[in-house]
């Protein structure tokens, strides 16, 4: 299952590109974080030295909030959210970003999530604006990196309406937390474009505006808020057995909601988003998969307060 994630209020973590940063050949070197909160700012997070910068990083084509992202070894695809159909293609090699020639979503999206493998990204649209009201949808789109095309045709919908979800996975499937203050998750299989909620472990508590990152064996899901109260709860989802637990999984360093996440094969970087009273923060946590530990110490903070962001990762060997 993929480790690409979708990450902000959905998080997205993708394949990578380039030399090793953590001693693993071809392992991921950096993550691109769209800060959300109605800004176009993105940060480049470097795993090897836990530093972060907004300098020389292609901005979103328009202010972005509650977007989603997924990618492969060369580019990250960012749905800007903000009740828009616009997506951006962020090219890692030159740190450039464009919305030109990038297929839009099938309907306007906000509060979506995404996961994918080396060839495609699956984007849960989240909610859209119908008249003057927000409506959560079951719609997903399949974005094909090679052709920059997108379609909702032949793509399995979520088992229930989804908004404020998150996603992570490996090369064969993506695990989508549907959000919307429920515990439901779906397993989306790339080869067949099928999706099911059967046999997929639910979250340990209701989940909304969460985030997720993972490697090829597990996904770490920050649940976001429950009953409109941000939480510190995370779940460890094991792909091989489709089990999930909150036991022995390091919590976030402070309350978290509307965050985003990306990572490589050894760690996930979680932007916590809103804390108490949903006030955006610059805090990020480094989660180590091997020890299930987490710290906010020595982790490059966001360049400005961040909430409702999204992230994609320059990381080979994450989804293999």
**Model confidence over 158-170: pLDDT tens digits?**
999 999 999 999 9
Sign, CA dihedral 189-148-44-113, equals negative
- What mean pLDDT is predicted for residues 265-291? 93
> Phi/psi at 278 (nearest 5 deg)?
60, 25
Average pLDDT over residues 300-313: 95
Whether the pLDDT of residue 265 is over 70: the answer is yes
Neighbours of 11 (CB within 10 A): 44
Task: Please tell me the distance from the alpha carbon of residue 187 to that of residue 157, in angstroms, as a whole number.
Answer: 11
Which tens digits make up the pLDDT trace of 16-55? 333 333 344 457 889 999 999 999 999 999 999 999 999 9
For 144-158, write each residue's pLDDT tens digit.
999 999 999 999 999
Task: Spell out the domains of the chain, with CATH numbers in brackets.
Answer: 30-314 (2.120.10.80)
For the entire predicted model, the pTM comes to: 0.92
Q: What is the pLDDT, as a whole number, of residue 73?
A: 84
Contact 252, 234 (CB under 8 A): yes
**133 or 286, greater pLDDT:** 286
| Cβ-proximal residues to 80 (8 Å cutoff; 6+ apart), any chain | 34, 60, 61, 62, 63, 64, 67, 86, 87, 88
pLDDT in tens, 48-103: 999 999 999 999 999 999 999 999 889 999 999 999 999 999 999 999 999 999 99
User: Is pLDDT larger for residue 278 or for residue 3?
Assistant: 278
Q: Mean pLDDT in the chain?
A: 90
What's the pLDDT band for 226 if we cut at 50, 70, 90?
confident
d(CA 14, CA 170): 9
């Amino acid at each position: 299952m993929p480790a690409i994630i979708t990450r902000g209020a959905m998080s997205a973590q993708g394949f990578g590109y380039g030399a090793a940063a953590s001693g693993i050949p071809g392992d991921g070197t950096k993550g691109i974080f769209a800060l959300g909160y109605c800004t176009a700012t993105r940060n480049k997070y470097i795993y090897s030295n836990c530093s972060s910068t907004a300098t020389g990083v292609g901005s979103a084509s328009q202010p972005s909030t509650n977007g989603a992202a997924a990618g492969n070894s060369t580019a990250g695809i960012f749905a800007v959210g903000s009740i828009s159909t616009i997506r951006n293609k962020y090219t890692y090699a030159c740190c450039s970003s464009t919305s030109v020639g990038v297929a839009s979503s099938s309907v306007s999206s906000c509060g979506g999530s995404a996961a994918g493998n080396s060839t495609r990204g699956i984007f849960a649209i989240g909610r859209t604006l119908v008249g003057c009201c927000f409506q959560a949808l079951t719609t997903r789109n399949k974005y094909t990196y090679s052709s920059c095309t997108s379609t909702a045709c032949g793509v399995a919908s979520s088992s229930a309406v989804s908004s404020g979800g998150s996603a992570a996975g490996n090369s064969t499937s993506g695990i989508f937390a549907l959000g919307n203050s429920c515990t439901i998750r779906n397993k989306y299989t790339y080869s067949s474009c099928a999706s099911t909620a059967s046999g997929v472990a639910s979250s340990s508590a209701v989940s909304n505006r969460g985030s997720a990152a993972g490697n090829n064996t597990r996904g770490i899901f920050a649940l976001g808020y429950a009953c409109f109260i941000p939480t510190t709860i995370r779940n460890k989802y094991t792909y091989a057995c489709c089990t999930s637990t909150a036991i022995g999984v390091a919590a976030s360093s402070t309350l978290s909601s509307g965050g985003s996440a990306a990572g490589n094969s050894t760690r996930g970087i979680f932007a916590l988003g809103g804390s108490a009273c949903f006030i955006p923060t610059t805090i990020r946590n480094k989660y180590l998969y091997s020890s299930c530990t987490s710290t906010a110490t020595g982790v490059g903070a966001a360049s400005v307060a961040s909430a409702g962001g999204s992230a994609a990762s320059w990381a080979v060997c994450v989804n293999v």
